[in-house]
Structure 1
Amino acid sequence: MKLIYVIVRNVDSTRVTEGLNTKGFYVTKLASTGGFLREGNTTLLIGTEEEKVDEVIELVKKECGPRQQIISNPVGSAEFYSTQVMVNVGGAIIFVTDVDRFERI
């Protein structure tokens, strides 16, 4: 048994969760913070058999793969001007750990 921690941006969490649920994976969602753009994150907890870990990771890649986004980067006073910057967003941080014991009560 494995426990998979998946950290994604909030904007990606619904797509990832629905994709996992469609394939029969149970997901627990936790609100979390951090990241380069100071936007909210969601940490997903997925318990599964060892042979299904790669399937979970592929589903996550499909639903929230890395992409580019233009953000406004204010320079000086907002009334004068601002610049736009292309940044990489999306993707996920994934941790896979062993589970010594699992019980559903």
Structure 2
Amino acid sequence: MKLVIAIVHDEDSFELIEELIDNGYKVTKLATTGGFLKAGNTTLLIGVEKEKVDSVLSIIQDVCKTRKGAVSMPSPIVGSTGVFVPTPVEVTIGGATVFVIDVERFERI
């Protein structure tokens, strides 16, 4: 048995969960926050048999696409002390970070 831990953008989470459930996978959803952009993420825990890991990864890859987004980063105004103006910076958001971990023991109680 394997545990797939997928950290995905909040915008992708609903569609991904629906797709996983439609394909017969059980999913546990955790609300998380990213460290770099400090934006909402969703962490999914998916327990699967070893043979089904590639299928789960394929579903994640199909649903979670990267895209460009703008984030406001404070920039100091030249000649002013302590004055910061938000400046939009383009960043890549979306996609997924996935970990696949061996499960030594699994019980449903």
Tell me if TM exceeds 0.5.
yes
SS class of match (1:37): coil
In structure 1, C-alpha distance between the alignment counterparts of 2:47 and 2:22, rounded to whole Å: 15
Consecutive unaligned residues of structure 1, counting only runs of 5 or more, are: none
SS class of match (1:17): helix
**Percent identity over the alignment?**
52
> Is the radius of gyration larger for structure 1 or structure 2?
2
Consecutive unaligned residues of structure 2, counting only runs of 5 or more, are: 78-84
Alignment of 1:1-105 (within 5 A): 1-73=1-73, 75=75, 83-105=87-109
Q: How many residues align?
A: 103
Which string of whole-angstrom CA distances, capped at 9 and with x for unpartnered residues, describes residues 46-100 of structure 1?
00011111111111111112121234445568xxx75433210001111111111
- Runs of 4+ aligned residues of structure 1 deviating over 6 Å after TM superposition are none
In structure 2, C-alpha distance between the alignment counterparts of 1:11 and 1:66, rounded to whole Å: 11
Structure with greater strand share of residues: 2
Report the RMSD for the aligned CA atoms in angstroms.
2.0
